[in-house]
Amino acid sequence: MTASTFLDPVSDAMPRVETLLRGIDKVGIPWMESVLQHILGSSGKRVRPALVLLAGQVATYDLDLLVPMAAAIELLHTATLVHDDTVDKSALRRGIATINSLWSGETAVLVGDYLFANSADLVSTTGNVRVMRLFAQTLMHMAAGELSQVFSAYRWQQTREEYYQRIGRKTAVLFAMATESGAVLGGADEPAVQALKSYGQNLGLAFQLVDDILDFTGSAEELGKPAGSDLMQGTLTLPALLLLERYPQDNPVRAALEAHGSPELVQQAIEMARNSSVIDEAYAEAREFSLRARAELHHLRDCPARLAMEGLAESMLERRA
């Protein structure tokens, strides 16, 4: 499966999602429109909105409900990126200048809030109480996750459990919301809703694990930001945790964090990871989550959307950026 084959079953509906996304930059402030175009235009492969539509296609494919939900998920995702980049003072995201670096941190705060609000508004157009509650709870988890990430920054004494809780709240909860809301709005029965929610959760964990591995193995060109960004910002990910477990003495990860992300020590940690088996080990964990995600789909009826979601779970392990 190529990077975008998973979009095939929903390729009819994705342009409607794009239209909704483009529609929110009509606020009558010319400056604002250019900011919104900058971020919404530079987004990635729209994996999260596609998941809403794919999950919805497993049951009745009601696009009048699914399209606003899909757009809402992308806006929520974008809003969190805008605020996270501001908090982390990141200059680049996917090779493109961040709002906080191009305009200002203050602009980024307000633009993020505006995106959150638009996202909530789109969700509310579904008129579905369960989905609206899910949205609010997802917001809570993500905000708490980002807070705990900032709170634990540069702390090298962390457990795998803390790591998984953190990436669960930071990433997996949004993937799970995408598939659960798609299933609910598609009118799937409860076992199918739960299977799709669990698929999203496991897919999200695999996605973030691979993201965290790529920060050790990728080139700056592939990543669109310097390799080792996580350690530089004080974020302890699985490859780093495995290095700490394996080599408790004179560990460059610990030294890099204690030196508040010193680039030389981060570079040493990256080389140590590349020359050890921790990358393979981390991939083995990602593979496990990808397999669990696919296993959840066995409960669903056979259809192109299910096949696409299986392929998407498989392709997680092959992505390079």
The footprint of a second copy (CB under 8 A) covers 27, 29, 31-32, 83, 86-87, 89, 105-107, 109-114, 116-118, 120-121, 123-125, 127-129, 132-133, 135-137, 139-140, 142-144, 146-148, 150-151
Q: Quick one: 6 or 135, whose CB is closer to a second copy?
A: 135
The CA distance from 40 to 237, in Å, is 28
Q: How far is the CB of 10 from a second copy (least distance, A)?
A: 25
Kindly state the helix (H) or strand (E) to which residue 41 belongs, with its residue range.
helix 30-41
Q: 226-231 — which CB contacts under 8 Å span 24+ positions?
A: 227/270, 228/263, 228/266, 228/267, 228/269, 228/270, 229/90, 231/256, 231/257, 231/261, 231/266, 231/269, 231/270
Q: How far is the CB of 319 from a second copy (least distance, A)?
A: 28
- Going from the C-alpha of 111 to that of each of 35, 115, 144, 210, 278, the distances in angstroms are 8, 6, 20, 29, 39
Cα 284-287-292 angle, rounded to 5 deg? 130
Q: How far is the CB of 53 from a second copy (least distance, A)?
A: 22
Q: Quick one: 142 or 272, whose CB is closer to a second copy?
A: 142
Q: Quick one: 38 or 299, whose CB is closer to a second copy?
A: 38
Q: Quick one: 145 or 239, whose CB is closer to a second copy?
A: 145
Kindly state the helix (H) or strand (E) to which residue 111 belongs, with its residue range.
helix 105-124
State the CB neighbour count (10 A cutoff) for residue 297: 19
Q: How far is the CB of 24 from a second copy (least distance, A)?
A: 9
Alpha helices in 125-159, H assignment, sequence order: 129-151
Q: How far is the CB of 133 from a second copy (least distance, A)?
A: 4
The CA distance from 132 to 97, in Å, is 33
Number of residues that this document lists for the chain: 321
Q: How far is the CB of 57 from a second copy (least distance, A)?
A: 25
The CA distance from 69 to 181, in Å, is 8
Q: Quick one: 124 or 315, whose CB is closer to a second copy?
A: 124
How far is CA 221 from its chain centroid? 20
Q: Quick one: 31 or 248, whose CB is closer to a second copy?
A: 31
Question: Is-contact 24 72, C-beta < 8 A?
Answer: no
Q: How far is the CB of 143 from a second copy (least distance, A)?
A: 4
Question: What are the percentages of helix, strand and coil residues in the chain, rounded to 5?
Answer: 75, 0, 25
Q: How far is the CB of 145 from a second copy (least distance, A)?
A: 10
Q: How far is the CB of 180 from a second copy (least distance, A)?
A: 15
Q: Quick one: 126 or 202, whose CB is closer to a second copy?
A: 126
Q: Quick one: 105 or 218, whose CB is closer to a second copy?
A: 105
